[in-house]
């Protein structure tokens, strides 16, 4: 069965033009990553998770995560925390920042998050989880989505009892990553659970995990009845994976790879500032230049270079035609559109 991945769907009152969602990923889903995802076919993009405690304390780095560019829409900003009232206040800040959807993280398995009572640990406290969704839904006019795991323990089916409660509390969509928190990212995702959840709730369900190809995404949608698929790690340094899932057969040239990486670097420096971006970008060099696109020694050389300017120079030397591709990419980017939050432009945060 062929599923039309270009079909539009509604998340609350927000129209999503395509059944492909770019996942929120900590340490990855900066604005440059999201904007790139939109260009390559994602119908909805999501911020990395934003700490409610950081928002409460007006932490500059945290507030920098609330930056919204004109070409990101529709955009979900994901928040995490364990206090319902604080989550509601954070939702109001997300709305003020210009997001289209407030997403709640009930799926992060990392210890530093779960030990605070947030993330996947809330699946063990469904009453609190429901109160959080109710508080967020009551605090904002934006639709509320929730991303969750199957449960904390291996073999858990808690998502099938928690999910419907979250919908009753006000969730307009559920994203299910059907691995346990204990699994982290090992093993395979059990999308039979996704199909069961689809039957239990009357809101769109987004199927997350292991959507690494068009064939796989088609199969997951066809067998689960999910409304959309979410793609995460497959798109790291490889936005062409999104275009291929949406139907493109094209493989990027070395010039296109180098141009996209340089644009990503420049946009990340604009967003994070030179100092933060220098370390942040190192993991992306291998992601972009892998898959046989460039020799391994070249990737290692880039990581060892002390400045981003030197990395750019080496990339342009290795793929001279990238300069023309880059010029066109930059010409197509919209400019401006900063929003105000508490009287300060979001673009003032994070070094942008």
pLDDT tens for each residue of 169-197: 999 999 999 999 999 999 889 999 999 99
- Catalytic residue list: 108
User: What is the mean predicted confidence (pLDDT) over 142-149?
Assistant: 98
Tokens 């793929």 locate to 319
Give residue 295's region: left, alpha or beta (phi > 0; psi -120 to 50). Answer: beta
Ordered alpha helix ranges (H), the chain: 31-39, 52-56, 60-64, 84-97, 111-114, 126-139, 159-169, 191-200, 214-224, 240-245, 254-272, 274-280, 282-289, 296-304, 308-318, 322-332
132-141: pLDDT as tens digits: 999 999 999 9
Tokens, residue 153: 């323990």
Which of 50-59, 264-273, 302-311, 317-326 is least confident? 50-59
Q: Is the predicted pLDDT of residue 143 greater than 70, yes or no?
A: yes
> Residue 118's beta-bridge partner residues?
none
List C-alpha distances in Å: 342 to 58, 91, 97, 141. Answer: 10, 15, 10, 19
CA distance 251 to 194: 31
Residue in this structure with the two tokens 């997001």, named with its chain if needed = 99
Does the global pTM surpass 0.85?
yes
Question: Which fold is adopted by the domain 8-245?
Answer: TIM Barrel (3.20.20)
Query: How far is Cα of residue 200 from the mean position of the Cα atoms in its chain?
Result: 25
15, β-bridge pairs: 10
Looking up tokens 């039979």 gives 192
Number of Cα atoms under 13 Å in the Cβ half of residue 94: 34
pLDDT at 217: 96
Flag whether pLDDT at 7 surpasses 90.
yes
Contacts of residue 145, defined as CB under 8 A and 6 or more positions apart, other chains included, come to 11, 76, 101, 102, 103, 104, 171, 172, 173, 174, 175, 206
Confidence tier at 333 by pLDDT (50, 70, 90): confident
SS3 of 231, please? Answer: strand
Q: Residue 162's pLDDT is what?
A: 98
Percent of the residues in the chain that have a pLDDT greater than 90, as a whole number: 86
Q: What is the mean pLDDT of residues 307-321?
A: 96
- Give me the pLDDT at residue 340, please: 39
> First and final CA of the chain: distance in angstroms?
46
pLDDT of 67 higher than 90: no
Q: What is the pLDDT of residues 89-122, one digit of tens each?
A: 999 999 999 999 999 999 999 999 999 999 999 9
Give the model's pLDDT for residue 255. Answer: 96
Distance CA 101, CA 174 (A): 12
Q: What is the mean pLDDT of residues 121-126?
A: 96
User: Distance of CA 28 to CAs 32, 200, 345, Å?
Assistant: 9, 32, 23
Percentage of the chain beyond pLDDT 70 is 95
The residues facing 344 across adjacent strands are 341
Between 288 and 54, whose confidence is greater? Answer: 288
Tell me the C-alpha distance between 235 and 269, whole Å.
20
Q: Which residues pair with 205 in a beta bridge?
A: 174
Q: How long a stretch of residues is the chain?
A: 352
Q: Beta 50-51 vs 205-208: how paired, if at all?
A: unpaired
In this predicted structure, what is the pLDDT of residue 339? 43
Tell which residue, 170, 154, 157, 146, has the closest CA to residue 80.
146
Please write the tens of the pLDDT for every residue from 15-59. 999 999 999 999 999 999 999 999 999 999 999 999 998 888 777
For CATH 3.20.20.70, list the domain ranges present in the chain: 8-245
For residue 294, what are the contacts with CB-CB under 8 A and spacing of at least 6? 254, 257, 318
Model pLDDT, residue 155? 94
């Amino acid at each position: 069965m062929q599923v039309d991945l270009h079909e539009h769907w509604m998340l609350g009152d927000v129209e999503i033009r395509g059944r492909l969602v770019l996942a929120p990923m900590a340490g990855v889903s900066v604005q440059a990553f999201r904007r790139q995802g939109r260009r390559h076919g994602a119908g909805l993009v999501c911020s990395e998770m934003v700490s409610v405690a950081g928002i409460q304390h007006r932490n500059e780095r945290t507030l920098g995560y609330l930056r919204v560019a004109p070409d990101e829409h529709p955009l979900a900003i994901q928040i995490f925390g364990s206090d319902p009232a604080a989550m509601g206040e954070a939702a109001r800040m997300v709305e003020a920042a210009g997001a289209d959807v407030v997403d709640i993280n009930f799926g992060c398995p990392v210890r530093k998050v779960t030990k605070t009572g947030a993330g996947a640990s809330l699946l063990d406290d469904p009453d609190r989880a429901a109160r959080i969704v109710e508080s967020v839904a009551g605090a904002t006019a934006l639709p509320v989505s929730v991303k969750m795991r199957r449960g904390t323990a291996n073999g858990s089916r808690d998502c099938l009892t928690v999910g419907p409660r979250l919908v009753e509390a006000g969730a307009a969509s559920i994203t299910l990553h059907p691995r346990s928190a204990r699994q982290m990212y090992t093993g395979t995702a059990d999308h039979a659970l996704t199909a069961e959840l689809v039957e239990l709730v009357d809101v769109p369900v987004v199927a997350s995990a292991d959507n690494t190809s068009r064939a796989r995404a088609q199969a997951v949608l066809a067998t689960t009845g999910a409304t959309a698929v979410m793609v995460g790690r497959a798109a790291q340094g490889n936005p062409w994976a999104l275009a291929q899932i949406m139907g493109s057969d094209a493989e990027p040239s070395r010039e296109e790879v180098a141009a996209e990486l340089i644009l990503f670097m420049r946009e990340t420096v604009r967003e994070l500032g030179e100092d933060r971006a220098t370390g942040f970008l190192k993991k992306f060099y291998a992601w972009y230049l892998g898959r046989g696109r460039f020799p391994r020694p070249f990737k290692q050389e880039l990581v060892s270079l002390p400045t981003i300017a030197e990395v750019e120079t080496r990339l342009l030397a290795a793929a001279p035609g990238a300069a023309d591709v880059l010029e066109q990419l930059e010409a197509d980017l919209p400019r401006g559109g900063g929003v105000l939050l508490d009287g300060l432009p979001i673009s003032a945060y994070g070094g942008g």
